[in-house]
Structure 1
Amino acid sequence: MVPTTRSVARMEAAAAAAAAAEEQNPDAAEGAADAAAVAPDAAAEGEASREPDEGEASREPNEGEASREPDEGEVSREPEAAEGSRAPGAAVAWRNPIVDAAQWAIVPYAEDIDQYLRAREADPRRRPIINYDQAIQRGNIRMNMRGTLVNWLVGVAFSNGIRNGAVHHAVSYVDRFLSRNAINRDNLQLLGAAALFVASKYEDIRHPKARWFSSITNDTYTTRQVVEMEADILRTLNWDVGSPTAITFLRRFLTTCCGGNRSRDRKLELMCNYLAELSLLDAYYIRFLPSIVAAACLFVAKFTINPKTRPWNLTVQRNTGYKVSDIKDCVHAIHNLQQADRNSNLKAVRDKYGILESVSIISSPQKITASFLKDLKYASG
């Protein structure tokens, strides 16, 4: 049985609450748990919230108004685990009983949620065109420009406390928009800023206002232009801004890989997030489904942290739904991307995760052990 829109909204919000608890972020956990209690029908479908400032973007035609704009100057709370400032090893014993209840609440629906997310990620209407730089943009927007834009988005988001998930969604919106609309290259940064504006609304109840997104472009674009581009994005995407990204699946996959060692779990999560954000910089990864990118990042992260231990076992295979052969091509690509990052001019991701437990400077063997790339043969793994 496929869950209803309302139940999916509640379950996804509950899952976010559970993720916040794992990240040892009580504020985010409480906010997510509150969202689970009141999630409206439109939430699961990713309806974007309305900007009430000057030059107000078009309202959604069918679903009505979305969430309220926060107070002036209010920015999102401290980002998720990959962006926390807690000292390594300083585990927090406190647990939120509301979040613990939310974790248990989603268990009966886990399979339905997974099927729902897999169906959404594979829907052609929600997939970008692999070669949109030539097919749609006719060379006016090149993929190296896209990389520069993503590098900028990662930097401004990290510097201003915007969540990882918002960056992943913003890049998805940019790719989907450019797969359908040709734009002037002078407006590429405007598209990126407006996409991050929409994504920050989707990811967090506390988010910057349109004026702030104008200011991060050094006022190259006005607040009205940001709001107008927001409206263009929403119309182009048909208000469907809730498609899953690699980070959506990573959050789910990581819950099956956590043991009792909190510091080791945190390092694995940060390494996965680092690799997933690296993949955003390169348009090559548009060809892979987000769940495949997430699984490949988990494989390479586990291999990097413990290169002598087989990254894939039957538990991971069962919970991700992928055999090694299903993700092998993406694993090689992610591993090569990790190796090449040290020489890249796009430094925002490397610098960010150089701060976060220095996972971006952890060396990975140049070659993955051949036996690790073979499917499991025996029930024992």
Structure 2
Amino acid sequence: MDLMCVEAESHRRAYEDPVLLKDNRVLHNILSLEDKYMPNPAYFKCVQTDIKRYMRKMVAQWMYEVCDEQKCEEEVFPLSMNYLDRFLSIIDTPRTRLQLLGAVCMFIASKLKETNPLTAEKLLIYTDNSITLQELMDMELILLNKLKWDLSAITPHDFVEQILCRLSLGKEKAETIKKHAQAFIALCATDCQFMMYPPSMIAAGSVGAAIHGLNRTSPHIDYGLLEKLHQITGIEIECLRSCQEQIEQTLALNLSNMAETESTKIDQHSRHSSSSSHHLKEQPTTPTDVQDVMF
């Protein structure tokens, strides 16, 4: 009888530990630690002399696309953005090194969260080989030194499971809400305005926005849910409401921008098709737009 080993063909996932999820000490510990890993939301004014907010957003969007295309764990992108913002909070960085910094942040975050981490070679390809392997290695050591090797940062993902298990939702519904909340967390990580919110508030706001979006019968925010989120996290109800509204507004704006972009692409494609009988299949975009703002 042939023995078949499938361990190499599929990733092993850790099961949900009820002790870690339902023990209030775990929740209290991460709530007490989250402030330690928050970046300075005013670093564009106080630290950075060359990098602007729109540059950070462009690099963040590129980093998200890389993580998404490589099917990274959901935690990798927010963790890499935490590293980037913490580094920029203390070190004045020229725009020419911002993409290098983003690549290094993904490189390190994937080592902590991925079974098969992103390779240096893949990251160089995603930068259109605008950086070298030696630059990547050197920048990795600089970032580790400046962050004092304190890499197990608290991110909104650490709170999502804690919140959901305390809302007593059905397993299938909780899984759906979790997926939506994870998407909202990634959206928040690309937007500078959410840097001022602690991870627990972003997680609670994302869960609230996910539940509100799935509950199409009511256009208004459920204050009963906000009360439950307040009891779980200790965050004031008005702060939770404000965060949730901001997430929903940001989502609506992004969806509107995506629709306009898609409409423009379709229009351009139609014009191109009328003048040519064939066209090349569009390949995953490389960060040429990121490079444009850096030179």
TM-score normalised by length of structure 1: 0.60
**CA distance in 1 between partners of 2:56 and 2:88 (Å):** 10
The code of the aligned residue for 2:30 comes to L
Give how far 1:323 is off.
4.5
**CA distance in 2 between partners of 1:181 and 1:250 (Å):** 31
**What do the CA deviations read for 1:216-265 (whole angstroms, capped 9, x no partner)?**
21211111111111111111111111111112212322233463362x33
**CA distance in 1 between partners of 2:106 and 2:119 (Å):** 11
Task: Tell me which protein shows more helix as a share of its residues.
Answer: 2
**What do the CA deviations read for 1:156-207 (whole angstroms, capped 9, x no partner)?**
1111121120100000100000111111111111100000001001112421
Give how far 1:107 is off.
5.6
The code of the aligned residue for 1:103 comes to D
**Matched ranges for 1:178-217 at <5 A:** 178-217=88-127
The code of the aligned residue for 2:68 comes to F
**CA distance in 2 between partners of 1:193 and 1:306 (Å):** 38
CA distance 1:105–1:325, shift in 2 (3 Å): same
CA distance 1:315–1:154, shift in 2 (3 Å): same
Choose which of 188, 201, 204 in structure 2 pairs with 1:279.
188
Paired residue for 1:334? 247
Paired residue for 1:106? 20
2:12 matched to 1:28? yes
2:34 matched to 1:121? yes
Higher relative contact order, structure no. (Cα contacts within 8 Å, ≥ 6 residues apart):
2
Q: Structure 2 regions of 5+ residues with no counterpart?
A: 1-9, 262-295
**Contact kept? 2:226, 2:237, Cα under 8 Å:** no
Q: Structure 1 regions of 5+ residues with no counterpart?
A: 1-25, 33-98, 349-381
Structure showing greater radius of gyration is 2
Give how far 1:129 is off.
1.3
Q: RMSD between aligned alpha carbons? A: 2.4
Give how far 1:314 is off.
5.2
Query: What secondary structure sits across from 1:255 in the alignment?
Result: helix
**Matched ranges for 1:128-143 at <5 A:** 128-138=39-49, 140-143=50-53
**Contact kept? 1:169, 1:199, Cα under 8 Å:** yes
The code of the aligned residue for 2:187 comes to L
Count of aligned pairs: 248
**Contact kept? 1:296, 1:330, Cα under 8 Å:** yes
The code of the aligned residue for 1:104 comes to P
**CA distance in 2 between partners of 1:154 and 1:107 (Å):** 28
**CA distance in 2 between partners of 1:210 and 1:346 (Å):** 34
**Contact kept? 2:59, 2:102, Cα under 8 Å:** yes
